[in-house]
Structure 1
Amino acid sequence: MKLIVQIPCYNEEHTLPATFHDIPKTIEGVDQVEIMIIDDGSKDRTIEVAKELGVDHIVINKNNRGLARTFRKGIDECLKRGADIIVNTDGDNQYAGWDIPKLIQPILDGTSDVVVGDRRTGQIDHFSGFKKFLQRLGSFVVRQLSGVDVPDAVSGFRAYSREAALQLNIVSPFSYTIEALIQAGKKHMAVTSVPVDTNEKTRESRLFTSIPKFIERQLTTIVRMYTMYQPLKVFFIIAVTLSVLGIIPIIRFLYFYFTGDGSGHIQSLILGGALTILGFITFLIALLADLINFNRQLVEQTLEKVRRLELEINDQTKDKK
């Protein structure tokens, strides 16, 4: 049983040592514990510090590609190196590395595919009241849309089984946390959460620099991911709404028409007809989107099989060497 702890890093030379030392090097039930950093184009000494610390694997992005793409690359690299469990933590030492044994225990027990560390944000002193409210609201929305019951949906302290990692397909350029949960819920993975500790704040968040921008990006991710997995439902609701809005002015026109005053309300007929036509077109889009959704599922299944085949070939190559 091999565990790889991946740490996406961007200019983390000052916080990486604390993050590294917090990670236990031996865990009961795990034969090997390895640490990997994915450097996302750092301009400081992050890579040199990682080498001095004795990090097992160093993966480098030549340019800054963002957290989501860096996370995705880390997952692929962990799988190539034979990880049975992958833990993701942040390079700013926000999460308590000593809780990793607790985080991976549901996977070791065979009861979960994905485990999310619950930071219990209501108890974190350096979180403002508004930020705590946004965390609760965002987690509630994600729970409703994904069907996954976790109290801290945006926590990046997570553990993935090998099977779960093979099925993940992160496409968002911003943050992977919400997308990964919606995917896990729609793919019927077993997801749970465990309470974890957090360390003192070491620097300002690079994802939460602007509240309006953060909300915009998170909403965009939620809408995009939910529509990707439930297109028929989303477009059908829009189609019904447009059709109902179209029928109301049409009924209004008919009422005045049969009462002898229809000529003065022709605009209601035009508006109602336009909305009804838009509703019908949206319904056709719903059917088309649903067909595309089934094709996406086939593509994802093919991608998963290709991944497994690549990993098998990679393992066979290593054995020959």
Structure 2
Amino acid sequence: MSNITVENSSAIEETTAKPRIAVVIPCYRETRQILAVLGKFDAMVDHIIVIDDACPDKTGEFVRENFSDPRLHIVIHENNQGVGGATLTGYDKAIELGADIIVKVDGDGQMDPAMIKTLIRPILRGEADYAKGNRFYRLNGLSKMPVFRLIGNLALSFASKMSSGYWKIFDPTNGFTAIHSKVAQELALKKISRDYFFESDMLFQLNIARAVVADVPIQAIYGEETSSLKISRVLLPFFAKHFANFCRRIAYNYFLRDFSIASVELVVGVIFITFGVIFGGVEWYKSSTSGITATAGTVIIAALPLLVGSQILISFLNFDVHNQPDRPLHPNL
């Protein structure tokens, strides 16, 4: 979690009127667990929004027939839009209902609704605009996570740090999230990925908006349900999307929105390394084909730009790591 100090945060929390909280539950084949999940939301939740994403098992109708609660709202998609599309539909409905904070909970029973109060606390205190769960904080819960999924999540977490710019955030594919509705309305929601890349793409869009994100430790819950997210299938496509977002973030934050010494470091570092690689490669090829050993001067001309360029890029990276947003948006919206 970002190290943020907010003066009189407890006073702010106590004097502010009770926020209206909406829970969004995107559903696809969730009839086995959905009723148990719905029964766990206490009185602090004002709206429960179930999104039936064109479920073959008609989860929406199943809920309508088997669960009665005045807070319940059901939206049924005619066509499947993916978990991201279903979540964004829920966001729109929550904003329409006047919610202040929108919480996303999956319908598979792997997220504890009792943790909602803890999840939204950074937003209530004015410390963050968006909060997400982190299953990796408590090591005792990781023993139940399959090894391949654990390794895949570690790799995706590092890729997400680079693409989003939130270097202190971990477990990017965790779907237990909360966002202030005012911040949600500031994002380019139509541009966010509709598939399983949704959570990672959301972090990218939040950074572009300069929103503050908080990591909240949660306990991992693994029941009988099998996750639809197959790390082996999404690893390469996710890396490609992360690389595209990384390029967009760097271009926007360091060349369009601002141009600082870090921008100069990036340009100079890339030029030096590119020159060193090309010059060194050409000279190595000449030496290997002719059998004539390269001179010390030639080696230095190739190596020096690589060393200097690497140091300059490390300096840029250090700047980027410390360039995370630290002033929440929603108090001023």
- TM-score, length-scaled by structure 2: 0.67
Q: What residue identity is the alignment partner of 2:181?
A: R
Whether the aligned pair in 1 keeps the contact of 2:60 and 2:75 (CA below 8 Å) is no
Structure 1 residues 104, 176: closer, same or farther in 2, change over 3 A?
same
- Of residues 236-245 and 137-146 in structure 1, the stretch that sits farther from structure 2 once superposed is 236-245
Aligned to 1:173: 194
Residue of 128, 136, 141 corresponding to 2:159: 141
Q: By how many angstroms is 1:91 displaced?
A: 1.0
Q: By how many angstroms is 1:107 displaced?
A: 1.0
Q: By how many angstroms is 1:16 displaced?
A: 0.4
Aligned to 2:218: 196
Aligned to 2:24: 6
What is the aligned-residue RMSD (CA, Å)?
A: 3.1
Structure 1 residues 38, 21: closer, same or farther in 2, change over 3 A?
same
Residue of 173, 177, 182 corresponding to 1:158: 177
Q: How many residues align?
A: 252
Q: Secondary structure at the match of 2:170?
A: coil
Q: Secondary structure at the match of 1:98?
A: helix
Structure 1 residues 247, 124: closer, same or farther in 2, change over 3 A?
closer
Aligned to 2:308: none
Q: By how many angstroms is 1:117 displaced?
A: 1.1
> Is 2:67 aligned against 1:53?
yes
Whether the aligned pair in 2 keeps the contact of 1:10 and 1:40 (CA below 8 Å) is yes
Residue of 112, 119, 129 corresponding to 1:113: 129
Q: Secondary structure at the match of 1:124?
A: helix
Q: By how many angstroms is 1:226 displaced?
A: 2.0
Whether the aligned pair in 2 keeps the contact of 1:15 and 1:202 (CA below 8 Å) is no
The whole-number CA distance in structure 1 between the counterparts of 2:161 and 2:282 is 39
Q: Secondary structure at the match of 2:39?
A: helix
The whole-number CA distance in structure 2 between the counterparts of 1:8 and 1:219 is 25
Structure 1 residues 251, 229: closer, same or farther in 2, change over 3 A?
same
Aligned to 2:229: 207
Aligned to 1:279: none
Q: By how many angstroms is 1:247 displaced?
A: 4.5
Percent of residue pairs identical: 25
The whole-number CA distance in structure 1 between the counterparts of 2:173 and 2:36 is 22
Q: What residue identity is the alignment partner of 1:105?
A: R
Q: Secondary structure at the match of 2:103?
A: strand
Alignment of 1:116-131 (within 5 A): 116-120=132-136, 122=139, 123-131=141-149
Q: Secondary structure at the match of 1:22?
A: coil
Q: By how many angstroms is 1:167 displaced?
A: 2.3
Give a deviation string over 1:200-257, Cα, whole Å, max 9, x none: 323211121xx432202221221222223324779969984666555456678999xx
Q: What residue identity is the alignment partner of 2:157?
A: S
Q: What residue identity is the alignment partner of 2:89?
A: K
The whole-number CA distance in structure 2 between the counterparts of 1:76 and 1:50 is 20
Structure 1 residues 43, 192: closer, same or farther in 2, change over 3 A?
same
The whole-number CA distance in structure 1 between the counterparts of 2:246 and 2:285 is 38
> Is 2:114 aligned against 1:94?
no
- TM-score, length-scaled by structure 1: 0.69
Q: Secondary structure at the match of 1:13?
A: coil
Ranges in structure 2 where 5+ consecutive residues have no aligned partner? 1-18, 256-265, 293-332
Whether the aligned pair in 1 keeps the contact of 2:163 and 2:245 (CA below 8 Å) is no
The whole-number CA distance in structure 1 between the counterparts of 2:244 and 2:75 is 29
Structure 1 residues 70, 237: closer, same or farther in 2, change over 3 A?
farther
- Of residues 8-17 and 130-139 in structure 1, the stretch that sits farther from structure 2 once superposed is 130-139
Whether the aligned pair in 2 keeps the contact of 1:172 and 1:221 (CA below 8 Å) is no
Alignment of 1:70-85 (within 5 A): 70-85=86-101
